[in-house]
Structure 1
Amino acid sequence: MKIMLVAAEASGDALGAGLAGALRARQPNVALVGVGGPKMAAEGIDSPFDIAELSIMGWLEGLRAYGRVKARVADTVALAVRERPEAVVLIDSWGFTIRVAKAIRAVLPDVKLIKYVGPQVWASRPGRAKTLAAAVDHLLALYAFDAPWFEREGLATTVVGSQALHVDMSGADPVAFRKARGIAPDAPLLLVLPGSRPTEIRLMTPVYEAAVARLKAENPALAVVVVAAGTVAEDVTARVAAWPFRAHVVGEGDKYAAMKAATVALATSGTVSTELALAGAPMVIGYRFGPVSYAIMKPFFTGKYATLFNHAADEEIARELIQSDATPGKVAAEVGRLLADPEARAAQAARQTAALDRMGREGRDPSEIAAEAVLGVVAARRPSPDPA
């Protein structure tokens, strides 16, 4: 049995690595090939190119990278043609993986195509559900509220749950984290998570720097910690080093301890919001697109909220400051409100936890469910043994 996994971003690389391990646990002789990053490489999946160059956000940025994306789609399809897998699992990264799906279908029509993480059609561009249903054979959805959108279009869907809801933070020690950095146990600590894409860092770090400068002016005792995601660590470290106030920069290895140690978090919208909620950290969410990209995309936004647990609860538990609202003044005001009000922090953290319960926090490990679904699709494809 040979299965191909395709991931184009850091979050997809983590999902792919978890799926690879779960597949091998159930089918030790499975051969795994594909496209991915360092975590999938650690599972023995050697990528034909560096996926960091595919970390793209926004319409304008996508247009600028079109030639590069097209070339990498061709490389991915060539790998599929050479390896002839029984199934291809396309992980997240809608723009890249939908192109790969269509291209593989054209040259290898008998290969089963499985999408792992559907587009967030509840938030924008609901027509993508129909597009996906025409392109792949099966969807592995993260949340129960995803499934109806795709099942209405005839796409078989398995709800596997989100890996972000099953992060093990038991080894994260907030007391040791503070002590190692000389931060007093009772000192207010603001954790800043600027994102994992180069565009996010470019657009959001100036906003966060200016907002935190205001907060530090109001409270010089405020400790500041910035998480530098692996894909953008060098850029983030260099930018924070130029800030006119002290900020501790930590890598992803210290991320969960930092989340538990935080009094309040300021985060760029993404999966990290779910992780912060798991850690019990009240937060403010920010996001900016490039102005041209936002003008193009704005008419397609149909959902009320960008943050998953806000959507699950159908209320703005964590304040969202998007585009024109993501200003230093508004960010500083919202973060400052939480820093000044322990009761508001506790109430928000409790509501965040309740929303995670609605999203399936107590369910089985998503990688295990995803592996079972993938193997089920492959088994259905294979001819039944001849009873003779």
Structure 2
Amino acid sequence: MSGKIFLVAAESSGDALGADLARVLKQRDPSLDLAGIGGALMEAEGLKSQVDISGLAVLGFIDGLLAYKRVKIAVEAAVATILVAKPDVVVLIDSWGFTLRVAHGVRAAAPEIKLVKYVGPQVWASRPGRAKTLAAAVDHLICIHDFEVPFYAPYNLPCTVCGHPALGRFKQGDGAAFRARHGIGRDEKLLLVLPGSRPSEIRRIGPTLWRGAEVLKRDHPALRFLVVAASAVRDSVVAQAPASALIVDEAEKEDAFAAADASIAASGTVTTEVALQGTPLVVGYKLGWITWALARAFLFKGKYSTLMNVAADAEVAPELIQTRLTPANIAKAAAPLLDDSAKREAQVHAQNNALDKMGRGGRQAGEIAADAVLGVMRA
């Protein structure tokens, strides 16, 4: 046995990263002993989780307080599972609060285990002091962007830049085939609505996105709605969506994204995935009011919340955040993407330029991450 690596993911996006990393690690060295905590995608790669991660995808101050006991129990279970497994390396994937607590628990009980953080906190946007906190907790960081590295240099935390994982996972969708499968005419306008992947996002953002979609439909009576629902939140998505909306599973994600004429979406990894399919989008986001007040006063310092816009240093995709996220504003921003082919093409072109700046066309993030993890293990 050449070594044991333990992967930890606490929500669906991390589960996807963990599954991709596990797949590449097995390709690199079939003799590796891989174990982990995650979801269905990691389990499909042979990493059956002994800790239930459902309900850990929390966001915001109030949601965090409400979930504190559940997170505390899950952290204790995760640390105990890792200590029994006795891995050489633990890879802590995304989910800042949860994985940091796991890192502290493992480091205190078994300092000989090497710790790697895969996707760091957004120190470039808020709370740069987290760079020092992370550097004291782990041995290596695999981050997404070059501009993150200088934040960690003062604390001597080794960093590997992998690029945005969505770029590496990209698979060109077949929009024409999707429309044919679902009886959607070539000339019918199709609006993709993506209310988020966390229950709190769907609860706060979904109703406004749908009201905005209905405003658009008043001026576009033939407009059809399309939703891609992750399995973990499918019931919540279905409950919100109009009866006429076409709801498909993630297995059709790439084709659905490519088939849409425009999208209105909650900020997150999905905005990059939609842009990669050549579909223009409007981005919306809303936090709880206490969390928003704290963020604006003390935490958030970035100009943009969407990574494409950060990379371009411009509002390539319109952002409607907090008070600006209204049905009228959604309709106003999205209507030109349905009505004006020149404006639509201009935004797609700008999105493509931003994606190039984010590293489209380079090595896959999973491959770079796997090499970094193996390097830490063998050092």
Bin the TM-score by the shorter chain. Answer: over 0.9
Deviation at 1:147, TM superposition (A): 1.6
Q: Which amino acid aligns with 2:290?
A: V
The aligned residue for residue 303 of structure 1 is 302
Deviation at 1:89, TM superposition (A): 0.4
The aligned residue for residue 74 of structure 1 is 76
Task: Indicate which of 120, 123, 141 corresponds to 1:121.
Answer: 123
The question of whether the paired residues in 1 share the 8 Å contact of 2:170 and 2:276 is answered with: no
The aligned residue for residue 198 of structure 2 is 197
2:12 & 2:35 partners in 1: Cα distance? 17
Deviation at 1:75, TM superposition (A): 0.3
Deviation at 1:189, TM superposition (A): 1.2
Deviation at 1:3, TM superposition (A): 1.0
Mapping of residues 7-26 of structure 1, within 5 Å: 7-26=9-28
1:33 & 1:167 partners in 2: Cα distance? 22
The aligned residue for residue 50 of structure 1 is 52
The aligned residue for residue 100 of structure 2 is 98
The aligned residue for residue 178 of structure 1 is 179
The question of whether the paired residues in 2 share the 8 Å contact of 1:188 and 1:223 is answered with: yes
1:289 & 1:173 partners in 2: Cα distance? 34
The aligned residue for residue 316 of structure 2 is 317
Q: Which amino acid aligns with 1:195?
A: G
Confirm or deny that 1:214 pairs with 2:235: no
Deviation at 1:48, TM superposition (A): 1.5
The aligned residue for residue 384 of structure 1 is none
Confirm or deny that 1:188 pairs with 2:189: yes
Q: May I ask how many residue pairs the two structures share in their alignment?
A: 376
The aligned residue for residue 275 of structure 2 is 277
The question of whether the paired residues in 1 share the 8 Å contact of 2:51 and 2:78 is answered with: no
Aligned to 2:293, the other structure's residue is in SS state: helix
Q: Which amino acid aligns with 2:363?
A: R
Aligned to 1:54, the other structure's residue is in SS state: coil
Aligned to 2:360, the other structure's residue is in SS state: coil
Q: Which amino acid aligns with 1:357?
A: D
The aligned residue for residue 386 of structure 1 is none
The aligned residue for residue 383 of structure 1 is none
The question of whether the paired residues in 1 share the 8 Å contact of 2:87 and 2:113 is answered with: yes
The aligned residue for residue 370 of structure 2 is 371
Deviation at 1:151, TM superposition (A): 2.3
Identical amino acids, percent of aligned pairs: 52
Deviation at 1:239, TM superposition (A): 1.9
Deviation at 1:168, TM superposition (A): 3.5
Deviation at 1:38, TM superposition (A): 0.5
- Segments of 5+ residues of structure 2 without an aligned counterpart are none
The question of whether the paired residues in 1 share the 8 Å contact of 2:336 and 2:344 is answered with: no
Q: Which amino acid aligns with 1:67?
A: K
Deviation at 1:182, TM superposition (A): 2.4
TM-score (norm 2): 0.97
Query: What is the root-mean-square deviation of aligned Cα atoms in Å?
Result: 1.2
Task: Indicate which of 289, 292, 305 corresponds to 1:291.
Answer: 289
The question of whether the paired residues in 1 share the 8 Å contact of 2:170 and 2:273 is answered with: no
Aligned to 1:284, the other structure's residue is in SS state: strand
TM-score (norm 1): 0.95
Aligned to 2:126, the other structure's residue is in SS state: coil
The question of whether the paired residues in 1 share the 8 Å contact of 2:6 and 2:36 is answered with: yes
Deviation at 1:76, TM superposition (A): 0.6
Confirm or deny that 1:340 pairs with 2:342: no
Deviation at 1:270, TM superposition (A): 0.2
The question of whether the paired residues in 2 share the 8 Å contact of 1:123 and 1:302 is answered with: yes
Q: Which amino acid aligns with 2:93?
A: I
The aligned residue for residue 255 of structure 2 is 257
Deviation at 1:272, TM superposition (A): 0.6
